[in-house]
Amino acid sequence: METKAPRPLAVVTGASSGIGYHLACCAAEHGYDLLVAADQPLEDAVADFKSLGAERVDVVQAELASREGVDQLCARIEGRPVAALMANAGHGLGGAFLAQDFKAVQHVIDTNITGTLYLLHKLVPAMKAAGDGRVLITGSVAGFMPGSFHAVYNASKAFVDSFSIALRDELKDSGVTVSLLMPGVTDTEFFERADMMDTKIGADAKKDDPAMVARMGFDAMLKGEADVVTGWRNRMQVAAAKVMPSQAVAAAHRKMAEPGTARHDHPENEHDHPVPEGEQASGTIAPPAR
């Protein structure tokens, strides 16, 4: 009797909703079995992943900001080779830095930076030893922008963006590729969880479809591409952020992210209307998040 070859395994963090959920959907559609993790319940998502083709879906609900949570995830791999690792878990935190509870600040840093790096440090060595594997790290175009009233998140993504590019170079010719997904403003639960629904970016801005963002990131990972910025608006934001003085970028960010800037009487996206010429530069800088 012929033995069926094991299906490749994809590990996806932050998979309960948003970009991570859609990354897991992409993996299921491409013949991967899944190990999915999040700090939120995943039961409803599992049924979707199986309906899309995943034969085995293992679930870990854990705090991925902690080393214990990452260890819990890694233990569920049970020695199986990881073909694709999508490190997507992340959190934001809106408001003025000095007014924030430092426990919440630490949680953003631990989730976006420490937990992500620890996960990579645990799983990528085996991929390198096998000489094969795909890694996708979710950064953000926010990493190019000093983020007034979203300062910790943007700074954390600057770290992740830089680290991902460096890790890719370190793994050059190893058989393992590292791709960096840099989304902009995306229609997920991010803004609600970051307490940003009273801001212009949280309530008013036009947001990208998370399924589209995930598809672009997944395709880039399969091709082994270095990085992908999703959407022409986001590419414009990155280009503008690179040439504008950092103080001007921070000031523009304030206009979008400062609490109380939401236009509750006009829910349409401000970019659906003409922008006065004098405001065009600042209008191209919106605080991206996912």
CATH at residue 183: 3.40.50.720
Instruction: Look at residue 3 and tell me if it is in a domain.
Output: no
- Residue 55 burial class via C-beta count within 10 angstroms: exposed 0-12, middle 13-18, buried 19 and up: exposed
Instruction: Look at residue 49 and tell me if it is in a domain.
Output: yes
- For residue 216, which amino acid is it? M
Closest CA to 186 of 198, 164, 202: 202
- Asked whether 27 and 12 are in contact (CB, 8 A), the reply is yes
Q: What is the mean pLDDT of the chain?
A: 85
Alpha-carbon dihedral sign for residues 109, 218, 227, 269: negative
Span 127-164, pLDDT tens digits: 999 999 999 999 998 888 888 999 999 999 999 999 99
- Asked whether 221 and 170 are in contact (CB, 8 A), the reply is no
Instruction: Look at residue 196 and tell me if it is in a domain.
Output: yes
Residue 270 above 60 pLDDT?
Answer: no
Phi and psi torsions of 31, nearest 5°: 90, 15
Span 27-69, pLDDT tens digits: 999 999 999 999 999 999 999 999 999 999 999 999 999 999 9
Q: What is the DSSP string of 52-77?
A: TT-S-EEEEE--TTSHHHHHHHHHTT
Span 184-238, pLDDT tens digits: 776 666 666 656 666 766 665 676 789 999 999 999 999 999 998 877 777 777 7
Residue 288 above 60 pLDDT?
Answer: no
Instruction: Look at residue 265 and tell me if it is in a domain.
Output: yes
Within the chain, where are the H helices? 18-29, 43-51, 67-75, 102-109, 116-130, 151-170, 190-193, 200-203, 210-223, 232-243, 246-257, 280-283
pLDDT of amino acid 186: 67
Catalytic residue status for 153: yes
Closest CA to 231 of 209, 253, 204: 209
R_g (Cα) of the chain, nearest Å: 19
**Using CA atoms, how far apart are residues 144 and 157, in angstroms rounded to an integer?**
8
Instruction: Look at residue 4 and tell me if it is in a domain.
Output: no
Instruction: Look at residue 2 and tell me if it is in a domain.
Output: no
Catalytic choice (21, 32, 118, 153) = 153
Instruction: Look at residue 13 and tell me if it is in a domain.
Output: yes
Q: Which residue segment(s) compose the domain that 278 sits in?
A: 9-283
Closest CA to 194 of 236, 59, 185: 185
Model confidence at 84, in pLDDT bands (50, 70, 90)?
very high
- If one counts every other C-beta atom within 10 angstroms of the C-beta of residue 39, the result is 19
Number of domains comprising the chain: 1
Instruction: Look at residue 289 and tell me if it is in a domain.
Output: no
Closest CA to 67 of 113, 16, 124: 113
